[in-house]
A and B are shown apart, each in its own frame.
Chain A
C-alpha cells in the first residue's frame, strides 16, 4: 500500500457529520457548489436599525449590536482605558505599552486620542513584526526542512524579512499575493526590485519536503500537493488535497480542478540538484542575489562539484612529490600519464634540475591544499522558484498514485469561483502569473472569496475568534459565519480600499466592539456560552512571541532592531543524527519573531506555548494549558533573567526609593496598571520576608534576589499572561 492510495476515501470513511444536502446532488459539482455561502457573491447589506441607539460607532458595531439584540443580549461595558490601550498595543504591535505611553494616552483629552495611538501603531515598524508573523503561520515558514531530512534553510530569513517589510509598507493584498505566487516572473526596474520579488516567491519553496524519496516524479507530485494544500487553505479556505485521488466528497472541487492547479505547480521548479554536505543532492532551489548573483552562485556550486576531483588531484600531487623526491623515474612517468594535471609543468620538465622540479611540485601541492582548505564564502542567495523549461499540463493520477497517469487536464483554476472562459496560459509559462491574478480577480476569479478569507483572519486575530471560526475552512465542512453580513461588509471594505490591510485593521480597532470589556455576565453566558455573538471581549492568553517580548521589554532587555538570519551558526543539518552539539539558539535579545524556527526542534518556548506547527498552514493556533507551561514559567532561565534584570532596573531607579512605590512601578511595567492595596501588601510582605530569609541564609545581593523573585512571580501570574 502506498501512502496515498485511496487516501481520499478517508474523507468519507471516517467523517462523522456530512453536510446535509440532497441525496442526488454530486457534492463535487462546481456549478451546483456555487450555492454554498462562501462562494456566493458578496452582498452589501445595511445593518438593521438597532433598538437602542447611541452605542454604535461604525457599521461594524451596528452589525454586532443588531445580532446581539436578536438574542436578547447586550454588549459589555467599555473596557477601562488602561485595559484598552494595553489590548491595542498587544494586538497591533505585539508589545505592551510603556508606562509613559499609557500615561500620555490617559492624559490626552482630545476626542481623537485613541485614533492617534492607532495611527501611530499602524505606522510603527513593530506592526509588521506582529502581523507579518500572522502571515508566516499561514506560509508555514521555517528555517529548516523538517520531515525525513531536516536540512537547514539557510536563506529562508530573507522571505521572513520580505513579509515583514511588505506588511509594514501596507502592500496591497492583491500585489502581496502576486509576488508570492509569481514574483520571479514579474517585470522589474532594478536588481533590487527583481530580487525582492523573487524572494517573495520563496513562499512556494519554504514548505517541508520528503527529500530522500527515490522517485523524482513522486517527489514532484508530493511537492505540488504540499503547495496546493497551503494555497488552498490559506487563500480559499478549502482542503483541496482530498481531490487528489477522487472528486471531493464534500466540496465542489472535482479531481480535474486539482490537476488543473497541479499542472501549474509541477510546471514550476522548486527543487534543484546542488551541493550539500559533501554530495550532490536534490534540494530546494537557490538563486544568487545582486547584480553578480548568478555568477557567484555558479562559481560556488562549481567549486563544490569539483571538490572530489580536486581531492584526488591533491592526493596524486602529493604522491608525485614523494616519488620525485625518491627519484623513482618509472613510477613518476606512470603517474604523469595517469593524472597529468597532478604534476606541475616544471616538474614534468626532465631537463630542469631535480631541486627545481621538486620545488615546483611542492608549490602545486601547497596551492591545491590551499584551495581545498579555503572554500569560497556562501554567496547571498535566496529560495526562489522558476518556471520549468517545458511547462505542461498535468495528467490526472489514478487513485492519486504518481505512477498511474490518466487523462491530461488543461491547467486552470477552481471552477466553483470562476466565471467566463478558461484562462489562457501563454506558451512556455507555468501559469502562476495567471493564477495569482485570478486569485484576486473580484469580477471573474476568486477575489471575493479571497477577500472574505482575509478579513476573517484579521477579525480572528483582533477579536480572538473568526466570524467563521474555522478560519482555514470555508467549505461545507467548515463552520458557518456568525455574522455573514459583517463578513461581507468587511470584505467589500477591503476590496474598495485597494486591498489595504491596514485600512480594515484600523476600522476594526476603532469600533466599539473592539473596545468592549471581557467582563463575565451569567445571563449572557447561558444564552451564548461561547461568546459567538460577542457580548464581551474574549480573554486571551498571550502567544509565545508576545509573552517573551513583553517580559524582555519590561526588563529593559529587548532590542527592537530587526534581525536577519538567526541560524547562520548551524550546520547544514539543522537537527543532526548524532551528537548535534550546535543547536538553534534562543539567546538573542531581538524580538521573538526572529528566533529560529527549526522544524522538529522548535525552541521550548514555542513548543510549550502553542506556536504554529511550521509543517503546515496554521490560521488559528491551538490553545492548550499544560504542566510544561507551568514548568517553563517557574524555571526557565530566560524568564528568571528577565525578572532579575527588571528587579535591578527598579532598584536602581532613584525616583522610587520606597518599597511600595517600587511595587507600583513593577505593576506598571508588567501589567500597565497599579496594584490594589491588597496586592501591594501581598508583594511587600513577600519581598520583606524573602529578603530577610535570604539575608539570614547568607549569599550575595539578598535585596536583588528578593525583588527578582517578586518580578518572576509577577510574570507568572495569569494577569500578565492573559490579555483582557
Chain B
C-alpha cells in the first residue's frame, strides 16, 4: 500500500456543488476516508461504494409489522390436521425427522382454518379482516432462524447477528437508498422494544449514525403519547426560536467564512436547518387530525382493541407517503403465550387484524402498495407441543411470515412444514435469505451492499443468504 491512496477524497463542498439540492441532499459515503469514519449529514441518497440500485427495484420502501413475542404459526397460517388429531399424544423425533427422541405432547390448534380469496390462502379464524385481503399476501411457511431466547432471536431478525453488534436491516436500507425526504430520516421505528437487544434492533452499528433508526416512543407506551426526544422547545415559541437561530446561523456563517473551507461547520449549519424544519413537520405527521373519519375507521382508530396498533399502522402509511424508506411498527411484548395460547392469540390477533387489513387497503387506494413491501412476522414461531398445560414454547425451527405489496408474488403460499409444523420440509427460508430477498426487492444485491469497517467489508447477510426468487413477482 502506498500513501497516495489517501489523496482521493472528495471534499464535501465539491459534493455539495455537485448535488443540486444543497444540504438537503448531502450525504457522505463510504468514499470518505476509511478509518476516520464516514459521516452522514442529513438525509439524502447515499453514495455507497456499491452503486445502488444494482438492478430495477420492485419496491421503494418497506413497512415491517413486528409481532413481538412470537406468534404461533400452527394457530394462524399453517393448518395441521394431523397435529390436531394427535393432541395429547407424545410427539416423537421420528414423527418430524428430529434427532431428539421425545419432543413433548402435541397440541393441535383450537381454531378453525379456511381458505380465502381466489388464491385459497389458508388462515385461521383469528384474522377475519386480513382474510379479505388474502390475495394480496405471499405467505412464507418455511422461515427459520436461530435463538431459543427472545433476545437472540430479535437480534437475528433485525440485524442478522446476535453475538456481534451489526447494523439493522433498516440502517442498511437507509445506507443503500438514502431518504426520499428532505425533512425526515430514512428509517423510522414506531414503538420499538426496549428489551431483547433494544436499540441494537434499529441501530446503525458501524454505519454512519445518520442511518440509525429514529425511534418514536417505545413498545410499552401508547403511540398517541409517544414523543421524539428534543423535538419541541418548551420554553421558546417558534418565533423566538427562529430569531435565536438566525443569530446562531449568522455567527456560524461568519465562522465558516473565516475558516474558508470546513465541511464540519457546513454540516452543523445544515443540521440546524433540518432540525428546525423537523420540529414542524413531525408533529404534523404525528397528529392524525388531517385524516378523514373513513380512513380512521378503516384502520380502527378510536376503537378498542385496535386503537393503538391502528394509529401505528396509519402513521406508517403517512411516513411511507412522505418518502421514508424503512418503517417498522411493533406490538408490545404480548405474543409470548407460554400459557393460555388460545386466549392470548384471540386477544392479540384482534388488536392487529383490522389495522393491518386497513393498512393494505389504504396503501392500495393511494397507489402506494405497488411499491411498498409490507412484511409481517415475529422473532420465531411457537412449538406445536404444549407447555404449561395450555401454552406453547419458542420455536425458531420454523415459523410463518408473510409479505405483501411491491415486488411480491401475491396470492402465494411458499414453502411447507412437516405434518406437525415442526420443521420446514419444502423451500426453507433462513433469516439471512429473507434479508437478502428484502434487499433484492429494493433493487440491491445483498452481496454488493457492503461497508468497510475494521479492515473488512461487511454486509447484512455476512457470508450467507440467497435471494428467494420464488416469492418475488
Q: Which residues of A contact B (CB under 8 A)?
A: 1-3, 6-7, 9-11, 13-16, 19-20, 146-150, 208, 210-214, 222, 225-226, 233, 239, 242, 250, 465, 469-473, 475, 477-480, 482, 518, 520, 522, 525, 528-530, 532, 539, 541, 573, 575-580, 600-602, 604, 607, 610, 613, 615-616, 620-637, 640, 678-679, 682-683, 686, 689-690, 693, 709-710, 712-713, 716-719, 721-722
Contacts and interface: CB of A to CB of B under 8 A. Distances in A.
Given A16-B457, A530-B6, A469 B163 contact: no
Contact of A147 (B146, B197, B230, B450): B197
B276 A475 contact: no
A583 to B, nearest CB: 9
Given A465-B36, A601-B194, A613-B165, A709 B244 contact: yes
A634 B209 contact: no
Given A640-B235, A689-B243, A14 B2 contact: no
A529 B152 contact: no
A630 B275 contact: yes
A13 B459 CA distance: 11
Given A575-B195, A601-B194, A717-B252, A629 B271 contact: yes
10 contacts: A3-B146, A10-B463, A148-B154, A470-B34, A541-B264, A580-B195, A604-B230, A624-B210, A630-B268, A679-B251
A393 to B, nearest CB: 24
Interface of B: 1-3, 5-7, 9, 11, 33-37, 39-42, 49, 146, 148-152, 154-156, 161-163, 165, 185, 193-200, 205-206, 208-210, 212, 214, 220, 229-236, 240-241, 243-245, 247-248, 250-252, 254-256, 259-262, 264-265, 267-276, 278-279, 333, 430, 432, 447, 450, 452, 454-459, 462-464
A530 B7 contact: yes
Contacts of A214: 148-149
Contacts of B150: 148
Contact of A210 (B152, B205, B261): B152
Contacts of A710: 247
A675 B9 CA distance: 35
A693 B242 CA distance: 14
Contacts of A20: 1
A1 B434 CA distance: 14
Contacts of A520: 259-262
A146 B199 CA distance: 10
A15 B193 CA distance: 34
A1 B163 contact: no
A146 B275 contact: no
A530 B3 CA distance: 12
B230 A626 contact: no
Given A480-B2, A626-B40, A682 B251 contact: yes
Contacts of B185: 627
Contact of A222 (B163, B195, B229, B241): B163
Contacts of A530: 6-7, 9, 33
Contacts of A712: 244
B464 A624 contact: no
A718 B151 contact: no
A14 B256 CA distance: 39
B1 A473 contact: no
A473 B455 contact: yes
Contacts of A7: 462-463
A366 B2 CA distance: 79
Contacts of B254: 678-679
Closest 7 A/B residue pairs (Cβ): A148-B151, A630-B275, A625-B267, A477-B455, A577-B195, A622-B37, A212-B149
A399 B186 CA distance: 37
